[in-house]
Amino acid sequence: MTHLPDMTAEYRPLGRTDIRVSPVAFGAWPIAGMTSIDVNDADSLATIAACLDVGINFLDTAYCYGPNGESERLIARAIGANRDRVVIATKGGIHWGPDGAQTLDGRPETLRRECEESLRRLGTDRVELLYLHAPDPKTPIAESAGELKRLMDEGKTRSVGVSNVGVEGLAQFHAVCPLAAFQPPYNMLQREIEADSLPWCRERNISVMVYWPLMKGLLAGKLARGHVFDPRDGRRKYPMFSGEEWEKNQDFVDHLRAIAAEIGKTVAQVVVNWTIHRPGVTAALCGAKRPAQLRENAGAMRWRLSAEHLARIDRAIAERGTPITRGAVRS
């Protein structure tokens, strides 16, 4: 990694902390290789190592990214001596059961064990941000929050966040442990948080770090209308990728392609730029498996869409209508 100082100008505060993060973050779920195909360690290591070169200092992973923590282990291998130049976020509270199913476990003892194991995998004594990955219906969220606060007080994390909750869960968590960040799904076609949790966080100076800005590649503009998904591709189970929803989405992406061509950007760069400049959004988590994808994601920073193009995007979103998004899973 070669640090480029001129790329840090757009870095943003993480909540009320003195930590600053790039508005485009490296989402490390794809390199776990569980739902993405054609993943290999050499490409993953090269992608992570290129982050600072392209101005991305924010790496987002989780205890359950990989059946054996592959994502965290790869990050440790790739950053090496550059540990103090990156901001690492990880998450606890979800693991994989013997049957391969996701298991929610927000018990204090589990969160502590997973945090300590994540630190060992990452080769560090602390992370900058530790999330409760999702609430455990069998454990009061206040109990989970209390343990994350203890881990923060002990210096194992510099700040705490929560993911995949509503406003009520945010309030309950924040009452026990001060939140620095909230991580929900959000993109041009999934904007539910604008009605409640996004303004709630803005009022309290809590950073909103959104995942799925490209809706698992749907909004990247690279999937042709006639694309046939590999049977191993996890996207096949989402309504957004089939039938009438797919056709509507392709029509929508055609509008984005026209804008991208006019301004000399890719569709993905237009979409991510729109996302990171939404009021209250601190960063967008963009997955990447190869350095070229990372460079494209980074190209969404340090410029802004014009008012005219924003208005055209608004019209295209309205024309698209409300999508069917049932079946979404945690990321």
> What residues are labeled active site?
65
> In 34-166, which residue ranges form alpha helices assigned H by DSSP?
41-49, 70-79, 108-122, 141-153
Q: Which residue has the tokens 């995998």?
A: 121
How many angstroms separate the Cα of 37 from the Cα of each of 30, 73, 104, 129, 239? 9, 19, 25, 28, 20
Instruction: Return d(Cα 119, Cα 222) in angstroms, integer.
Output: 36
Q: H or E stretch including 26?
A: strand 24-27
How far separated are the first and last CA of the chain, in Å rounded? Answer: 27
Give the 3-state secondary structure of residue 326. Answer: coil
Q: Beta strand pairing status for 207-210 and 281-287? A: parallel
CA proximity to 141, closest of 114, 193, 179? 179
Nearest-5° Cα angle at 309, 284 to 253: 65
Contacts of 10 (CB under 8 A, 6+ apart): 22, 23, 301, 302
* Strand 94-96 versus strand 87-92 pairing type: unpaired
Query: What distance in Å separates the CA atoms of residue 262 and residue 249, rounded to the nearest whole number?
Result: 20
* Interatomic CA distance for residues 93 and 86, integer angstroms: 23
